[in-house]
Structure 1
Amino acid sequence: MKPIGLRTRVSAAFALGALMLSACISLVSYTSIRNTLFAERERTAVRSTYYDAAVVNAGITGADPDVLEVLRSLGTGSDRYVLLHYGGRWHSRSADLAADTAVPRALQEMTSGGEAGAQRVERDGRPALIVGVPLAGSAAFYEIISLDELDRTLQALALVLTAVAIMVAAGGAAVGWYVTRHALRPLTAVASAARGIAGGDLTTRLDPATEPDLAPLSIAFNDMADQLTRRLDRDRRFAADVSHELRSPLQTLAAAASVIEKRRAGLDERTAAAMALLTAEVGRFQTLVDDLLELARSDQPVHREPVDAAELARRVCRSRGLAADLVEIAPDTPEFWLVDRRRIEQVLGNLIDNAIRYGGGPTAVRVGDGYLEVDDAGPGVAPEDRTTIFDRFVRGPAARARGNDDGTGLGLAIVAEHAAAHGGQATVGERPGGGARFRIDLSGQQT
């Protein structure tokens, strides 16, 4: 499972915090407003009920009063219903109320004891408030006030507060994303600098003054880059010095081996075989020293000049006994490139030599708009080996399978170094139809 990134975690924490805070505020606000509205509604209902109760009480004090007419004289509207318990019977203005069940028993007992009271109830699944007021004698007056409008108001309020909480949470996530983006910007600069050094730009450094809080990290990074640069410089100088020191004795050995080789016919069979092996190893040793010297010089600036890339490719092929028509020129390819002639010639030569030695021979040498490609007819390069095949002293499976020890393991490393010196890169992929395709991208090197 892929781990969640820091920016996502911080944004989620901001969103969750904002949601919890807004939810708490919304809940407190809703509860406070709800209680206030209910209290105000109850006060209004009680005042209205007392007023109507006074009217009813005055209307039923005479002899043989018309109770129904008295109740109809009340202006209660459509959201209020009235009930009167008088003379042991229930009276109402309409016949749709079950009076004996509409008023809770506890409220009836309270009014029969001479106390006024109010109670919230559910009537036909809707909220309502019943207010009871005792009248003269044993009579009692009740009003049932619908709370539908108040309930709808509270539902609308709940929806608004919920929407506000969601928007606040979204705003918190946006703030978290913005904050982490700016907070991680110095780390992004560190990552970019690290990629630059990994790509070969050893001059990359960080400015400690850019972010004072990360100044120790910037100083440590710059110190690490300085030490790495010094270490690489020492390694290059060591390789160059060793190679230079080895060239003189190697030339002496090669000259001596050449003299003996000319008299090989006069040697016995075992001596001649040993001499042939010695000569081959001396030649391989010379090649290795030359390659090491080339790698030691690879960090030097390139000497750019206009080069006819197509003609250079044909010349490299002819020098190895290959047909010049092996070179293919892609459409829209510039005639001249601004490159280091010696290095590009060596790049092509190493790739063609690699194809001859390990890839069954080159099938095409392609010159395109800012790139060079060499196809071979070999077994190809496995995907897991494609990232390491350009490392120093790394030999591919094809070389190991053939048991061929005449290579130095530095040819492709030199190719990669020369490509990087031109601001490009070396890659290897699969050729359509089988085999390997080595590619050198030199974008922007044309004249």
Structure 2
Amino acid sequence: MRTVGLRTRVTAVFALGALAVSAAIAGTTYQLVRTSLLDERERAAVRAATLDGSLVRQGLSADEPDIALVLRNLETGETRRPLVRTDGAWFSRTADAGFTPAVSRELRQLVESGTPAVQRVEVRDDPVLVVGVPLQDGASYYEVTSLAELRRTLAVLATVLGLVALATTLAGAAVGSWASRLVLRPLGEVAQAAGAIASGDLSARVARDRDPDLDKLALAFNAMVDEVSARSEGDRRFAADVSHELRSPLQTLSAATSVLARRRQDLDGRTGSAVDLITAEVARFEQLVTDLLELAKTDRPAERRPTDVLALTRAVVGSRGLPPDVVESSAPSALLEVDPRRYEQLLVNLLDNAANHGGGAVRVAVRVQDDGLVLEVDDEGPGVPADERELVFDRFARGRAASARGGSEGTGLGLALVAQHVQAHRGTVEVLDRPGGGARFRVVLPGRPAAVPA
């Protein structure tokens, strides 16, 4: 399962925090407003019902009261429905529209006992407020007030509060994203500088920060890089000096073995074999010194420039005596921003490795993609065991893979140089199984496709 990034988690925490706070505020606000509006509507309904009840009481005090007429004279508007109950019968100013069932038995008993009462119920799925007022001679007056408008008002309020909570959540997410970028910016700069250092640019540093805590991180990182740079430079100079000092005696040995080799026919068999052995070992030693000098240079950053990697690949393959059809590519040319010297060196080393340990290269594939280059070199040797595929890129690596792949005439630095050149490009290199047998070395170099010169 993929781990969620720190920036995403920080943003989510801010968003959830904003959602929780806004939801709590919105819920509290809704409840307070709802309670306040209901209480206010109830007080207004009680006052109106009490006033109307007094008018009905006066109307019923006549000798022959007309209850329907008394109710029609009341100004109750469209939201209040007056009802009178006397001698077990209901009276209304219009035909019963279904409001008498809204008066519950408990409410009726309470009012008929002489106690005013209020109750909230629903009539045909609409909320109403029933107010009961006792009259003379056991009669009672009821006023049914519709709360539909109040329900609509509360629905609008809930919608507005929900939108406000949503906007607050989005604002919290935006603040979280901004805060995470601000907090993680130094880490991004450290990662960028570390990547540059890994590719050989030991001059990369992290800028100082005004924040004292973050400034400590920058100072510690830069001090570490200075120490690493000093040690790396010392190692590089030591390797270069040693290799340079070895060249003079090696040249003398090489000249001497060349003289012996030219007179080999004058020597007996045992002496001639010894001369051949010395000549091969001196040549191997010279290659080792050359590789050490090259390895000392690999700590420097890659010098990228627009390069036709396909043309360079074909030139290197041709210089190694391989047929042109070994190179595979879907395009006639492939311009990419790479270091041509490093690319040529890593390809030469892969081809030499295939020749020395894998019976020679049988396929060299070049693919340029939007995000970089993929280079594959196949051989037809025994392949590399899975448990040694990381070890073959170490310096002077020796193991079952090297033995099984054809001897030890190499210096043990070829694939280490390949790894260094790939790292300078911030790329990757791996060993795979070639379909049909053999090894496949795959190199991925990130880089932008170069523009074609006008």
TM-score range, shorter chain: 0.7 to 0.9
1:60 maps to: 60
Report deviation, 1:395: 6.8
Please give the alpha-carbon distance, in whole angstroms, between the structure 2 residues aligned to 1:48 and 1:115. Answer: 17
Contact 2:23–2:165 (Cα < 8 Å) also in 1: yes
2:353 maps to: 354
Contact 2:99–2:123 (Cα < 8 Å) also in 1: no
Contact 1:119–1:129 (Cα < 8 Å) also in 2: yes
Normalising by structure 2, we get a TM-score of 0.77
Report deviation, 1:65: 2.2
Q: Between 202-211 and 108-117, report the one with greater CA deviation.
A: 108-117
The aligned runs of 1:336-351 (5 Å cut-off) are: 349-351=348-350
Please give the alpha-carbon distance, in whole angstroms, between the structure 2 residues aligned to 1:160 and 1:14. Answer: 22
Which amino acid counterpart does residue 141 of structure 1 have in structure 2?
Answer: Y
Q: 1:314 to 1:221 in 2, by over 3 A?
A: closer
Please give the alpha-carbon distance, in whole angstroms, between the structure 2 residues aligned to 1:227 and 1:383. Answer: 36
1:29-84 deviation digits (Å, cap 9, x = unpaired): 21221122112212221222122212211221122322233233334344333222
Q: 1:368 to 1:151 in 2, by over 3 A?
A: closer
Please give the alpha-carbon distance, in whole angstroms, between the structure 2 residues aligned to 1:310 and 1:155. Answer: 69
Long gaps (5+) in structure 1: none
Q: Does 1:41 align with 2:41?
A: yes
Contact 2:308–2:334 (Cα < 8 Å) also in 1: no
Please give the alpha-carbon distance, in whole angstroms, between the structure 1 residues aligned to 2:173 and 2:130. Answer: 47
Please give the alpha-carbon distance, in whole angstroms, between the structure 1 residues aligned to 2:407 and 2:247. Answer: 24
1:164 maps to: 164
Q: Does 1:401 align with 2:400?
A: no
Q: 1:187 to 1:292 in 2, by over 3 A?
A: same
Report deviation, 1:115: 3.0
Please give the alpha-carbon distance, in whole angstroms, between the structure 1 residues aligned to 2:250 and 2:69. Answer: 134
Please give the alpha-carbon distance, in whole angstroms, between the structure 2 residues aligned to 1:273 and 1:228. Answer: 47
Please give the alpha-carbon distance, in whole angstroms, between the structure 1 residues aligned to 2:340 and 2:174. Answer: 49
Q: Does 1:201 align with 2:204?
A: no
Report deviation, 1:273: 6.2
Contact 2:358–2:406 (Cα < 8 Å) also in 1: no
Q: 1:210 to 1:246 in 2, by over 3 A?
A: same
Q: Between 246-255 and 208-217, report the one with greater CA deviation.
A: 246-255
Q: 1:414 to 1:444 in 2, by over 3 A?
A: farther
Across the aligned residues of Structure 1 and Structure 2, the Cα RMSD in angstroms comes to 4.6
Please give the alpha-carbon distance, in whole angstroms, between the structure 1 residues aligned to 2:207 and 2:303. Answer: 32
Contact 1:358–1:378 (Cα < 8 Å) also in 2: no
Contact 1:133–1:142 (Cα < 8 Å) also in 2: yes
Which amino acid counterpart does residue 360 of structure 2 have in structure 1?
Answer: G
2:414 maps to: 411
Please give the alpha-carbon distance, in whole angstroms, between the structure 1 residues aligned to 2:232 and 2:81. Answer: 96
Q: 1:424 to 1:137 in 2, by over 3 A?
A: closer
The number of equivalent residue pairs is 439
The aligned runs of 1:290-301 (5 Å cut-off) are: 290-298=290-298
Report deviation, 1:15: 1.3
- Secondary structure of the 2:145 match is strand
Report deviation, 1:135: 1.8
- Secondary structure of the 2:284 match is helix
Q: 1:384 to 1:157 in 2, by over 3 A?
A: farther
1:214 maps to: 214
Q: 1:299 to 1:7 in 2, by over 3 A?
A: closer
1:83 maps to: 83
The aligned runs of 1:248-287 (5 Å cut-off) are: 250=250, 262=264, 265-266=267-268, 277=277, 280-287=280-287
- Secondary structure of the 2:85 match is strand
Contact 1:419–1:426 (Cα < 8 Å) also in 2: yes
Please give the alpha-carbon distance, in whole angstroms, between the structure 2 residues aligned to 1:203 and 1:223. Answer: 12
Q: 1:176 to 1:375 in 2, by over 3 A?
A: closer
Contact 2:310–2:333 (Cα < 8 Å) also in 1: no
Which amino acid counterpart does residue 266 of structure 1 have in structure 2?
Answer: D
Report deviation, 1:4: 2.0
Identity %: 47
Q: 1:415 to 1:437 in 2, by over 3 A?
A: closer
Which amino acid counterpart does residue 355 of structure 2 have in structure 1?
Answer: I
Report deviation, 1:274: 6.6
Please give the alpha-carbon distance, in whole angstroms, between the structure 2 residues aligned to 1:339 and 1:294. Answer: 15
Q: 1:148 to 1:371 in 2, by over 3 A?
A: closer
- Secondary structure of the 1:137 match is helix
Which amino acid counterpart does residue 378 of structure 1 have in structure 2?
Answer: E
1:331-361 deviation digits (Å, cap 9, x = unpaired): 4579xx9966xx7875664444333223433
1:74 maps to: 74
Which amino acid counterpart does residue 171 of structure 2 have in structure 1?
Answer: G
Q: 1:363 to 1:71 in 2, by over 3 A?
A: same
Which amino acid counterpart does residue 405 of structure 2 have in structure 1?
Answer: R
The aligned runs of 1:102-117 (5 Å cut-off) are: 102-117=102-117
1:153 maps to: 153
Report deviation, 1:254: 5.7
1:182 maps to: 182
Contact 1:247–1:289 (Cα < 8 Å) also in 2: yes
Contact 2:102–2:121 (Cα < 8 Å) also in 1: no
Q: 1:165 to 1:446 in 2, by over 3 A?
A: closer
Q: 1:396 to 1:196 in 2, by over 3 A?
A: farther
Please give the alpha-carbon distance, in whole angstroms, between the structure 2 residues aligned to 1:48 and 1:374. Answer: 92
Report deviation, 1:191: 0.9
Report deviation, 1:388: 7.0
Please give the alpha-carbon distance, in whole angstroms, between the structure 1 residues aligned to 2:89 and 2:324. Answer: 122
Q: 1:444 to 1:413 in 2, by over 3 A?
A: farther
Which amino acid counterpart does residue 395 of structure 2 have in structure 1?
Answer: R
Contact 2:121–2:127 (Cα < 8 Å) also in 1: yes
Report deviation, 1:122: 3.0
- Secondary structure of the 2:122 match is strand
Contact 2:365–2:375 (Cα < 8 Å) also in 1: yes
Q: Between 143-152 and 373-382, report the one with greater CA deviation.
A: 373-382
- Secondary structure of the 1:189 match is helix
Q: 1:446 to 1:237 in 2, by over 3 A?
A: farther
- Secondary structure of the 1:4 match is coil
Which amino acid counterpart does residue 69 of structure 1 have in structure 2?
Answer: L
